[in-house]
Structure 1
Amino acid sequence: MSERTSRLIVPIVVITGVATTATAAYLAYRPEPPPASPAGLTWSAPAVASLGLVRIDYQLNRLPRLASNQLAIWVEDAAGRYVRTLFATSFTANGGFVRRPMSLPLWRESSGWDAAADSEVKAASRPAQDSGRQSVYWDTTDRSGRPVPAGSYTYRVEGNVLWEKRVLFTGAIEVGEAPHASRPRVEFLPVATGQEPALVADINASFIPGERLPSGAVTTFTRGS
């Protein structure tokens, strides 16, 4: 499988705390407080008006082992229909599941990732993160960039802890005219996975009506790990 190496503009999803290596770097800007415009980078108004901004925070503990450290975060509607992938470690997102089919199977099935467009793969895939507090943002648009209607949405965080062992967090967030916050429930697959070191923990989500992300953040990445 050929390496994917791309440079693109990603105005929608911003992930903070991504590892910086010789082959992958990420420049991210948090919306709190509103960032000043760096030299050579300007903010532009969003092309469409969405309901606001969902922020998902979590503690990532990178594990010193093989067949691990894969993570996907995505959103579904109240009926369980896939809406958008916010983050997926680039090894799996770029086809690593062919070699390791046990890596993030629920996310792949929910998103239909095997047939995902190249633009969606590029927008969602990131190198594996270093340990620390991480944040992922969703601007309440779907995979095509269209604003979603107000209502209840499900966010899921699936982590590949070790080979077939996984952890799955599932929570609900209300998006509309009022702020909302929630914490997800956790499920270990299989149950014995709960005895393994935690890959991801302490997850919470919040929605801020009318909040916007600046566009123009530049991402460069390779397949990662």
Structure 2
Amino acid sequence: MPDRTSRLILPIVVITGVAVTATGAYLDQRPEPPPAASERPRPPTTATLPPTAESTGLVRISYRLHRIPTHASNQLAVWIEDASGAYVRTLFATSFTANGGYNRRPESLVRWRETSGWEWATEEEIESASRPAQDSGEHTLYWDGTDSNGVPVRPGRYTYRVEGNVWWENRVLFTGTIEIGDRPHASEAEVAYLPEAAREEAVMVEDVRAEFTPGETLDPDDVTTYTRGS
């Protein structure tokens, strides 16, 4: 099994090892334009600082992915919530679902879509999170401590979640918490299977963990942007 690496920091994309089978066809599946922002069922977090404030540091969210060679699988979303459960930001979502594939496959990444109100997502949100399905291997996503509008969030405890569609409605959900502030922090996520019978399906994601480093930024010289796929 190849051991490849994927990295992503928003708003700069850092991604390697994406699946070469992804195509631009998914873009045609986007839903109708969303209603007014005030109608979005789950408003984003209010735990933000003034737009002129600086982020407290960098969060790494890492996991091992096993790409499953079948259809109706390999859909993945990684996102952040605040301590109250309000949506903060999506770090990664596979193109099929992020661009409206849920209209064809409603069981795809249900928890992420409900939490983020993704059916009401703006074009900017979709473009910042939507990426091709990843190849098998170790992957790391970077969160710079800002919300979906690019505004730094307050220090405190945040929840990171990784949801994957293993096969049709069978999903796996990892949940962990990370403290951002003036001290380093690390944690491992706990896993749940939705429904419980999904435990019997193939392993798609494992070893989900996060690490916060205060004051750290990612050197732009280390960033490579890939546009292969959709």
Q: When the two structures are superposed, what TM-score results if normalisation uses the length of structure 2?
A: 0.78
In 2, the alpha carbon distance for the partners of 1:20 and 1:168 equals 22
2:83 to 74, 78, 89: 78
Alpha-carbon distance change, 169 to 11 in structure 1, aligned in 2, over 3 angstroms: closer
Aligned counterpart, 1:132: 137
Aligned counterpart, 2:56: 51
Alpha-carbon distance change, 11 to 56 in structure 1, aligned in 2, over 3 angstroms: closer
Query: Number of residue pairs matched?
Result: 192
Give a deviation string over 1:31-75, Cα, whole Å, max 9, x none: xxxxxxxxxxxxxxxx86201000011000000010000000000
1:220 to 202, 205, 227: 227
The structure carrying a bigger helix percent of its residues is: 2
Greater RCO (Cα-Cα under 8 Å, separation 6 or more): 1
Give a deviation string over 1:73-99, Cα, whole Å, max 9, x none: 000000000000000001100000000
In 2, the alpha carbon distance for the partners of 1:105 and 1:77 equals 19
Contact 2:59 2:145 in 1 (8 A): yes
What is the Cα deviation at residue 218 of structure 1?
3.1
In 1, the alpha carbon distance for the partners of 2:194 and 2:100 equals 22
Structure 2, unpaired ranges of 5+: 1-8, 24-51
Alpha-carbon distance change, 22 to 88 in structure 1, aligned in 2, over 3 angstroms: closer
C-alpha RMSD over aligned residues: 1.9
What is the Cα deviation at residue 221 of structure 1?
4.6
Aligned counterpart, 1:152: 157
Look up the SS of the partner of 2:63 in the other structure.
strand
Contact 2:10 2:128 in 1 (8 A): no
Look up the SS of the partner of 1:220 in the other structure.
coil
Q: What is the identity, as a one-letter code, of the residue corresponding to 1:190?
A: P
Q: When the two structures are superposed, what TM-score results if normalisation uses the length of structure 1?
A: 0.80
Aligned counterpart, 2:17: 18
Structure 1, unpaired ranges of 5+: 1-9, 25-46
Contact 2:82 2:88 in 1 (8 A): yes
